[in-house]
Structure 1
Amino acid sequence: MANDTLDKLVIFLAKRDGIDKLVKTFQYVSKLLHWHAEAAHPGLAHRAKQWEIASGLSRKAFRSGRFLTGLNTVRRNPGPNLTFQILSVFANAGEMVYFFFDHFLWLSRIGVLDSALARKMSFISAFGESFGYVFFIISDFILIREGLEEEKKLFGSKEKSGEAEKRIGKIRGERIMRLMAVAANLADLVIGVADIEPNPFCNHPVTLGISGLVSAWAGWYRNWPL
């Protein structure tokens, strides 16, 4: 019996990435709600802000030890060739910095460590995150280009077998997933820049809210069970 929607939702929420995307949705929906209600409904805006803060702190707790994932990726499966290995090292190094210093940011925000550390930890974490995303995006674009070239060759071949059709379908599926990854990474890059170099555009609640939801929902798509 094939899994239905409820089965898939249970599987999705059983994964750390799944619950993270759900709580990330809460975080950025509440950010937009706070912005929308701030002037006319201050009580509602305050509750939305508390929801946003709680969601953000919860996500940091869920990510405990997550930096080890990048370390293990570099150790076990850095890439098929030197180009991808270099990109993988830089991308995962940035992500490791992000997740590692995020522990200290979380502890400083909940009062275990000096709250004065929060700003510095936030900057280091966001810088590592943004640095890593650049290389993840480059890797995905290279793979998308390679997929397009392979698909073009398969279309250009005189004999189109069932295997070729399956391969084309697989390439297209992978391309969608990589485009979702690029969308998520670009959205998170905007959020990272807002921490590194605050500016009116990146730090506007609507920009942050939409970026967060794009990232969250792209993650939903990528992690949703087949």
Structure 2
Amino acid sequence: MAAASSAGSEGAKRPFLLHLEAYLARRDGVDKLLKIMRYTSKLLISSQHLVANTNPAVVARLREFEASVGTSRKAFRLGKFVQDLNALRGSSSNFSSKEGILELIAYGGEGIYYFVEQFIWLAKAGLIDKRYSKKLQKLSAWAEFIGYFGSVSLKALEILALLDQETKIIDGFRKKSEGGEKELPADLAKQLHKLQAKRFMKALSLIQDFADSLLSLSDILDERGVLANPSLLAFSGLVSALISAHKNWLSS
């Protein structure tokens, strides 16, 4: 996340159109824009009862557009599971530790999810018999939810670790100053600022993963109970899309 912040500061100096070109050249950049479009459409569809004299033709077009964008996103993420395999291969974590186990769950679950999503797309495209779609979607939802469980837990631990580092810096300064100097030295202030910025980005990522986990849990439960509310699901998806688009913009 620190790298994303530095990339964002560099991106801020670039002309907007050059930054936008770099953003749209990335697969994740386009994917997140499609995600914003999809869940904005879902939110509008779920809110149609709030608007008097809603044109049924407009709602039908929104439904068709939302479904088309959803299928396009699946096609756009072909082969993305390799990213998770490489993340596990390149990880320096000890997989027998708590953090290592959570990392394995997070990347493993997400990797399986992206792998299965390819077959769901092939079923929607007509290459695979559509009777397998429901089982594939259930498997995909479970893998995604398990992955988000690991990711949310891991990020919560990382946030606590960052808070601990910030506390140590402040407490250490207070002990050394012994009531004399009241302001942090420039080097410590800069270090503290970097930790706070990193913690903020981790918190955003946690919120994003939690919002996405609600969507996968809804698929597991077949949209029953509280998660049957289409407005809640659409809002969760839109929040996740906006956060991930923001993160990708900073790092592009």
Q: Which TM bucket (shorter chain)?
A: over 0.9
| Structure-2 separation of matches of 1:15 and 1:173 | 24
Contact 2:138 2:219 in 1 (8 A): yes
RMSD: 1.8
Answer yes or no: is the 8 Å Cα contact 1:78–1:88 preserved in 2: no
The answer to whether the 8 A contact 1:181-1:218 is kept is: yes
Q: CA deviation at 1:178?
A: 0.7
- Contact 1:34 1:44 (8 Å CA) reproduced: no
Q: CA deviation at 1:32?
A: 1.6
Structure 1 partner of 2:71: 57
CA distance in 2, matches of 1:15, 1:201: 36
Q: Larger radius of gyration, structure 1 or 2?
A: 2
Q: 2:168 aligns to what?
A: 153
Question: Is the contact made by 2:47 and 2:231 (CA closer than 8 Å) also made in structure 1?
Answer: no
* Match among 168, 172, 184 for residue 196 of structure 2: 172
Runs of 5+ consecutive residues of structure 1 not aligned to the other structure: none
Q: Counterparts of 1:114 and 1:204 in 2: how far apart (Å)?
A: 30
What stretches of structure 2 of length at least 5 have no aligned partner? 1-9, 178-183
- Where do 1:15-54 residues align within 5 Å? 15-37=26-48, 40-54=54-68
- AA aligned opposite 1:218: I
The answer to whether the 8 A contact 1:95-1:132 is kept is yes
| TM-score, normalised by the number of residues in structure 1 | 0.93
1:109 aligns to what? 124
Deviation at residue 176 of structure 1 after TM alignment: 1.2
| Contact 2:39-2:237 within 8 A present in 1 as well | yes
Contact 2:43–2:231 at 8 Å: present in 1 too? yes
What is the CA distance between 1:6 and its match in structure 2?
2.6
Give the alignment's TM-score, normalised by structure 2.
0.84
Q: Who is 2:248 aligned against?
A: 223
Q: Is the 8 A contact 1:78 1:84 kept in 2?
A: no
CA distance in 1, matches of 2:30, 2:226: 29
2:142 corresponds in structure 1 to 127
* AA in 1 matched with 2:120: L
Distance 1:9 1:45 in 2: 31
Deviation string 1:77-104 (CA, Å, 9 cap, x unpaired) is 2537833222111111100110010011
Instruction: Give SS of 1:74's match.
Output: helix
**Range moving further from structure 2, 32-41 or 193-202:** 32-41
Identity %: 32
Asked which structure has the greater RCO (Cα within 8 Å, sep 6+), the reply is 2
Contact 1:78–1:89 (CA under 8 A) maintained in structure 2: no
